[in-house]
Structure 1
Amino acid sequence: MKKRSSTSAWAKSFERSFVAMTRLASASGARALTKVLKPAAASRKPPPGDGSWIPGVVAGANGVRRFRLYRPPGVAFGERLPLMVMLHGCGQDANSFAKSTRMNRIAMRERFLVLYPEQDRIANAQGCWNWFDTKTGRAFGEAALIMQAIDQVCLMYPVDKARVAVAGLSAGASMAALLVTRHPGRFQAVVMHSGIPPGTANSSLSALGAMHGHRLTSPLLATPGTMEADWPPLLVIHGDADTVVSPRNGHSAVAVWAHAAGAQASQARSLQRGKRYPMAVTDFKRKASTVATLVEVNGLAHAWSGGAAGKAFSDGKGPDASRMVWAFAARQFRSNA
C-alpha cells in the first residue's frame, strides 16, 4: 500500500510539473509568436493620416502584381483628381514607401491620388523592379503591369487622365524612366530619385556596374510612333554621398534626356532651406521650356531626401523630396492645362 501511495504521489507531482511546464511553454511560445507577428502586423498597418488606403491587384500575361491606392478624404461626386504614381526601391514595398516618403500627407493637402505598385518577391527576391532586364523582355513586362495598374485605377477611381505623373526611388526611379520612354503620352512629368537611367544596363551584371558608375548610358530611344522631344520633363534628385548608386547616374540621366530634346544646361544655383542639406539645382532648357532639372543634394546618401526619420532608405535631414516632386508635377499640369 505504501508503494502504491508513493507511486500515486509521484504521478500527481509529475502531473503538476507537466501542467506548469506546459503553461510556461505556452507563455514563452506566445511571447515568441508576438515578437514575430508584431513587426508583420506593423508593416501591414496603413500609413498615418486621413483618407482611404485601398488594396488592389492586376493580373495578365506578364504576371500578377499588388498595388495600394491612397485617396484623400472628401472627394466630391464628379470631381477628377491628379494621379501620382510612386515606384518603391529595393527592400521596400508599397506600405513602407508611403510611410517613408509621406507623400499621402501632401496628397491629402493638395488633393491628388497616389498609386503605389508593388514588386513581387518571386520576381525579384530583394523587391527590386527589373528595369535593366531588357534582353529577356522582363523589364517591359513589368512596365506593362504597372501601366495595367494605372489603367485600372483610372477606370475605377476619379482620376484626371490629363494629370498623371510618375516618380521612383533607386530601381523604382529607373523603372519610372523606362515607363515614360515607352508611354510618353500618358505622363506629364517623371521624377528619378537616386536612380540609373535606362540604356545604362541590360542584365543584372551590367546593372551592378552601372550602380557604381562604371557604364556609359546609351542614347534613349523612343517607342515607335513617338518622338524623344515629346517626352515629359524630368526631375532628377541625387545625393552626392550616395555609395550605392553613383551620383554619376544622375548626371547621365539629365544628359540623355536633354540630348534627346536638344536642351542646354543653364547656370547651376545653390539653395538651402533652414538647416537641411544644401543643394545645387541645374535646369536644362530648350528655348523657354525646362526639359530636365538636376538637384544634387550635398551630404545625402542613398535615401529619400527629407523622408520620415527612422525609416529605411529615408533621411529627414535632406530637403523635402516629396514636396519637390509634387511641385514639379503641378507645374507641368498647369503649363499643359
Structure 2
Amino acid sequence: MWRTTDDIFDYWDRVTWIIDQNAPLANFAGPTKGWNDADMLMVGNYGTGAVFGGGMTDTEYRSHFSMWTIMASPLIAGNNLNTMSQFTKDTLMNSEVIAVNQDALGSQGILVSDLGGLQVYSKKLQTTGTRAVVLFNRTGAAANMTVNFSSIGLNATASVRDLWSKTEKGTFTNSYTVNVPSHGTVMVKLTGSESTSSFFISGKTYRIVPKSTGLSVVVEAAALNNGAKIFQWDYGTAQNDQWVITSTTGGFNKIINVKSGKAIAVKNASLMDGEDVIQWDSGSTLNDQWEIQGVGGGYFKIINRLSGKSLNVADNSLIAGGKMIQWPYSAADNMTFQLIPLN
C-alpha cells in the first residue's frame, strides 16, 4: 500500500480534501496492484488526539469511516482505544461495514453521481450482482438522495440492506432514495443482477471520466476559442470539465462544453488514427457527433460518427495533461468512460 495524500488532521475539511484526492485513484487499487492509503482514521478523537484539529461530530466521524471503507483504504484506528465511547465502538467495529472494505474482489469504490455536493459512491463486490453504495451528503442541510441502479451496473430490481442500522429495507425498482443528514452518509448493500448496458439522459450535464485515470475530460486552459485541445485533468470548478450531452439523429449525440458552448470534435474531420480531439463550433460534418454506448458496469464507449473511431486517452497516459485522440476501439480502460451526472 502507499499513502496518496499529505497527513490527515482531525477536522472535517481535511477529511473531505483527502477524499477528493484519493477517490479518482480507484483504477490503481486492487489485490494485484496495492492499496490507496488515505491515512489513519480520526474516528473517536474529538480533538483530543495527537494530531492537529478540533475534532468532528459523530455524524462526520461515521461519514469518514464510511468513505475510507468504500475507498478500500486500510482501516487503521488513530484514537485512544482505552477511552472509546459506545458510538465510536459501534462505528469502528461494525462487521458489515468492515466486510465491504475487506471484500475479496478488492475494488475501490467510484464516484457515480455528484449533484451539488450530494455524492453517490459505488463499490463492486465479489458476489455477482452486489454493490456497496455510500450516499454522502457534503452540504449544509439534510437532503433526499438517490442511487440509480443503472448507474452502478445493475438491472432494474435490487434488494437493499442498510449496513449501519443492519436492517433490510426491501426490494426496489430502478432506484433507492433515502434522507441523508448534513455531512452524513447512508451506506447500503444492493443485491440484484448485473446489467450489460448503461444509459444517459439527453440534455443533462456530465463529467466524462476515463476509467484508466479517474481524471476529467476538459478543455485546455478553460479556453473559449475554436481548436482548443481536449485532454484529461483534475476535476475543478471552471466548468471546462462539464459537458451537456444532446441527442441528434440516428442514435448519435453532440457533447457541448458548458463554459465555451463548443462541441467535442475530431480535428479537421480527419479519419486517421491518432488525430487530435478538439473543441469547435457545432457543425454538420459529423466529426462532432458521437455514439455513446453502454458497455456494462456503468461505463461507456464514445465513438465518432464520421470516423467510427473511439475517444481515447493518448498513449494510455496516466497524468493530468494527457490529450484526447481518436483510435480504433478496443475494450481498454483508456477508451472506457464514466458519465457522472452533475444536475
TM-score of the superposition, structure 1-length normalised?
Answer: 0.28
Q: Rg: which structure is higher?
A: 1
Q: Which structure has more strand as a fraction of its residues?
A: 2
Q: Which structure has more helix as a fraction of its residues?
A: 1
TM-score of the superposition, structure 2-length normalised?
Answer: 0.28
